[in-house]
DNA sequence: GTTAAACATGACAAGTAATGGCATGATTAA
DNA sequence: TTAATCATGCCATTACTTGTCATGTTTAAC
């Protein structure tokens, strides 16, 4: 076996063990101790942070955590990585922040000048916009950790009705529109609710969870329609155009031959509050035929507005 | 110099040149041709896709594009990369799609089992939610290319008032809420407008641009207030809560001692259409004091609703 | 069809690097 | 004091790398 290959094998061996003696390596690879000492000098030269403790019970200790075998990237692949990083730029709170910074440096410094220019251009010509929030989510990493470790937590939460203590089982976290959300099973309400990570004021305690809950992906797919209700709306041409831009209606907008259209679908009653402002904006571009509750809600809100002003 | 170092130097040399002869390498590194042949066998063993053409004008050709020197990542760094990729998951159209797939494979396959589990967990416990759009943006990569290369383009665009041909200078592209947007200088309207990349039906022609335009970052920072207007609103406690969640008002919401609050700021008249539905939803939680146009707009829309139903 | 430029491969001697063994010393815990 | 550990030097042996030369093969150009 070539020396380079053997060195890498030893690199993997020692970064995995973290603490080891020269004798252990010699036994593992059937080489002499003298050679092991020499190899360790080579690894140090390669930049592996390693230190030795002398005397009985001494040995070597590797400072970095486990390393991957060296990977050869093409320039395009490196560029695509910077593109991926670009999508994280607008987030204020992020887990893995320090690691991403170190990867960025490692990659950027190994690029040739031409590729550096390309990366810089990507940075200035492409962006993933999210509202630049000033809201901090200090418990993001903790909450993520607890959900990965399948633990229940007690949290102090700033809800609509004031400060509350909640006993929840976190399902996962997701970012949307610059904010971090936490779907979690609420043991008091006995159902899954959606929390905002920035509104968590503290984590009081955590305990291992026994139950099995859905994961984040399942939660995204899962939309229980508890109170099905028919939504039936006629749309003008402009109404179609606007509704097609609303992800919620993606796929349900039907265009007819005369260029008008309609939406005719089943939704959950709880979602009416969410779509009401939408139809307010559409005004006469959308004529709601069903449900009556939506029409009444719109009327009520319209009357409230007219009473106010 | 050690063999490993020399092999890497040659690797860089040949991946940059793409096509070369053994003699060229021999001259460059002052080694014999025989050795070059031997080195090339080593590079093949390392997995470099390279083939030889025999005969006069023959030589070697490297199939992959330029490679970076091998990079050592820590396991945490690799995990953070998967985290970054996660943020691209909900996008339907992406440039660099193939590269990201190949990087993902390279990295994942080099992970140890334990780390693979960690990555899988991240994938199932953290997400960057964006509406799953079915809308395709086939010209995304082209438009990006043209803006990087500082070119003007003629496009067919599906606008509010139908199919139109536009002569524009693209400034860059950005993703928001699952859609790709293109701010661009419109040569007919003589100002910067915002286009949706999915509404571009074709790119008719392109020519080198002479002018200097702002870049994407500048455009984000730039918000010309052409027709300044005062927005002055009183908010209830719930009104404050809701407005604080609206990025547009981030920082302008003031809370008073009695737990009510207000917004008092200068905005552009053109933005009224955008904030109108917001105040409709807030209803009596927000009492608009100024501008009159906003109140009138709300009243008009409310009357339209009441006339309809 | 001959020639020149390229790759492909083998043999071998000379040179270089890596290895193992041994010796010595330093440091530390038992 | 002893045993376990790292640190380092020396040297003979072994293994590898290199350059030179020789021999083939393939292909384009003349």
Query: A121-159, pLDDT tens digit by residue?
Result: 888 888 887 766 667 788 888 898 888 888 999 999 988
Check CB contact under 8 Å for B80 and A100. Answer: yes
The confidence band for A214, taking pLDDT boundaries of 50, 70 and 90, is confident
| The pLDDT of residue A163 | 87
What average pLDDT does chain A have? 85
Task: Output the pLDDT for position B132.
Answer: 61
Contact A226, A192 (CB under 8 A): no
Quickly state the pLDDT bin for A198 (edges 50, 70, 90): confident
Q: Which CATH class is domain A228-308?
A: alpha beta
pLDDT for the residue numbered A223: 67
CATH fold group of domain A140-221 = SH3 type barrels. (2.30.30)
Mean pLDDT of A104-113: 92
With a cut of 70, list the residues of chain B below it in pLDDT. Answer: 131-134, 223-226
Percent of chain A scored above 90 by pLDDT? 30
The verdict on A211 touching B (C-beta cutoff 8 Å) is no
Q: What is the mean pLDDT of residues A180-198?
A: 88
Q: A269: exposed, middle or buried (C-beta count within 10 Å: 0-12, 13-18, 19+)?
A: middle
Q: Which nucleotides of D are covered by protein (CB under 7 A)?
A: 3-10, 16-22, 25-29
In this complex, do A126 and B301 lie within 8 Å of one another by their Cβ atoms? Answer: no
The gap between B41 CA and D7 C1' (Å) is 38
Q: How confident is the model at residue A217 (pLDDT cuts 50, 70, 90)?
A: confident
Q: Return the CATH fold of A3-62.
A: Arc Repressor Mutant, subunit A (1.10.10)
d(CA A67, CA A56): 28
Q: Does B163 touch chain A (CB under 8 A)?
A: no
For residue B281, what are its two tokens?
Answer: 């939803």
Mean pLDDT value of segment A226-235: 82
Contacts of A306 in chain B (CB under 8 A): 299, 302-303, 306
For residue A39, is pLDDT > 90? yes
Residue A308: the pLDDT is 72
Residue B96, chain A, CB below 8 Å: the answer is yes
CB B239, CB B286: distance < 8 Å: yes
Among residues A125, A94, A242, A289, which one has the least CA distance to residue B146? A125
Residue-range domain boundaries for chain B: 3-62, 75-125, 140-221, 228-308
Q: How many residues does chain B have?
A: 309
- Å between B56 CA and nearest CA of chain A: 30
Q: Residue B179's pLDDT is what? A: 82
Joined together, the tokens standing for residue B160 give 């509010």
Q: Using an 8 Å Cβ cutoff, are B95 and A118 in contact? A: no
The predicted structure's pLDDT at residue A153: 93
C4 C1': nearest CA residue: B56
More confident position, B290 or A67: A67
- Residues B75 and A12 sit within 8 Å (Cβ to Cβ): no
Are A173 and A139 in contact by the 8 Å Cβ rule? The answer is: no
Q: Helix/strand/coil (H, E, C) string of B145-178?
A: HHHHCCEEEEEEEEECCEEEEEEEEECCEEEECC
């Amino acid at each position: 076996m070539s020396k380079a290959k053997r060195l890498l094998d030893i690199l993997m061996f020692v970064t995995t063990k973290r603490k080891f003696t020269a004798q252990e390596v010699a036994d593992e690879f059937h080489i002499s101790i003298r050679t092991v000492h020499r190899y360790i000098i080579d690894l140090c030269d390669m930049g592996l942070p390693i230190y030795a403790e002398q005397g009985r019970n001494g040995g070597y200790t590797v400072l970095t955590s486990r390393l991957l075998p060296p990977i050869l990237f093409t320039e395009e692949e490196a560029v695509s990585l910077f593109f991926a990083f670009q999508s994280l730029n607008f987030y204020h709170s992020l887990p893995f922040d320090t690691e991403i910074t170190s990867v960025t440096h490692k990659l950027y410094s190994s690029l040739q000048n031409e590729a550096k220019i390309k990366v810089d251009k990507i940075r200035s010509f492409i962006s993933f916009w999210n509202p630049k929030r000033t809201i901090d989510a200090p418990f993001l990493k903790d909450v993520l950790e607890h959900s990965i470790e399948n633990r229940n937590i007690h949290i102090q939460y700033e809800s609509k009705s004031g400060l509350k203590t909640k006993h929840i089982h976190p399902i996962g976290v997701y970012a949307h529109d610059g904010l971090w959300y936490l779907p979690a099973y609420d043991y008091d309400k006995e159902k899954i609710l959606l929390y905002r990570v920035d509104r968590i004021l503290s984590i009081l305690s955590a305990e291992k969870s026994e139950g099995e809950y859905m994961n984040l992906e399942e939660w995204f797919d899962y939309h229980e329609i508890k109170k099905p209700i028919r939504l039936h709306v006629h749309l003008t041409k402009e109404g179609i155009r606007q509704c097609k831009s609303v992800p919620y209606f993606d796929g349900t907008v039907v265009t007819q031959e005369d260029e008008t259209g309609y939406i005719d679908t089943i939704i959950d009653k709880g979602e009416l509050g969410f779509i009401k402002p939408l139809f307010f904006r559409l005004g006469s571009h959308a004529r709601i035929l069903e449900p009556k509750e939506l029409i009444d809600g719109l009327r009520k809100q319209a009357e409230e507005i007219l009473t106010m002003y």
